[in-house]
Structure 1
Amino acid sequence: MHTPLDDIITPRLILRLMSIDVVEACLAGNLRSAGRLLGASIPEELLEHTSSFQYGQRQLNNDPNYFPWSARAVILPEEQVMIGLIRFHSRPDPEYLHTYVRNAAELGYRIFKGYQRLRYATEAITAMMAWAQTEFGANKFVASVSPENIPSMQLVTRLGFTKIGEAMDDVDGMEYVLLYEAKS
């Protein structure tokens, strides 16, 4: 019997939910402690962009049911090392997406240098969308990507996302809003 909080296992990866304790240790810069709690070593590169963790904490404060949708470590099981992270920005149908689409969940992902362009992001995104569809019946997914981020644009296009709008992000600047609708 599995639950929405369990690890998501793919052929090459483990997508492990990052507990509040793990996130707090990361935000405090204590990656050794966070890694022990997570069960995988966490590279220093994680600390270069911690805004997604701060955003996630705000989401959890506003919506405790957000937790299963929050940050998951992308782990290489053979090495027991975190190579990136993936999350949904909210549960499906957040108000900020209503301008573009209803009943969609927005994905965010990051693979650390040295592990990029090995299709780990493709594998993680596909698994997260399948998880959301199986566990919660979600079948619409959004990715917001800077048009200058060519590798990420190629990735989401290859997965079948199509542009439905543009948005100005406070942190990342101009982004294309892209939608993927899974077959029910």
Structure 2
Amino acid sequence: MAQNLSGYHRALDLFEGLVAGVPRDGWDVPSPCEGWTARDVAGHVTGGQYLIRALAGGEPEPDIGRAPARFVPGDVLMSWRTARKECAAALTPAALSRPIPFDGLGELPLADYLEGYILEPLVHAWDLARSTGQPSRLDADLVHHAFATAQVIAAPLRAAGHLAPPLPSPRGADEQTRMLAFLGRSALT
């Protein structure tokens, strides 16, 4: 089992930097996620930290897709940092070894799950950047890893209605643009 979570932490750092860059009055703007505001996107990723903490402790998982803004009431950055800190504290060696179910693909250790989880904060970092007018260029190494993960997990997510259909990507597009198109996002709009 792999224990290198540097990509996971880099993706969280990237997301946190974007949360910190949103002005106080910028949370109600629409995001690329249909029906969600920037606050909803931040809430969803913040809720993801509570989901990981629940997986680490063998507890019931919170529904992070329903009313995600509830995870970031008031000061979004403070809510995010609190969730991240609580999640990090739960990621003990025993928790990272804990087998968890992985969407009909069997079980895998939580540490391995977190290596693939890079996709979630990374793509939503792009969503947050786009909705709040911040630079949306993502870390190329993280994009490469996340795109590989997306190709493995996209079919069941689409079947469940949790992921948009893929869009065509322009000829010669870079990997970030191709990944976003695969996930139903247009980097050109």
Larger % of strand: which?
Answer: 1
Q: TM-score scaled by structure 1?
A: 0.31
Q: TM-score scaled by structure 2?
A: 0.30
Larger % of helix: which?
Answer: 2
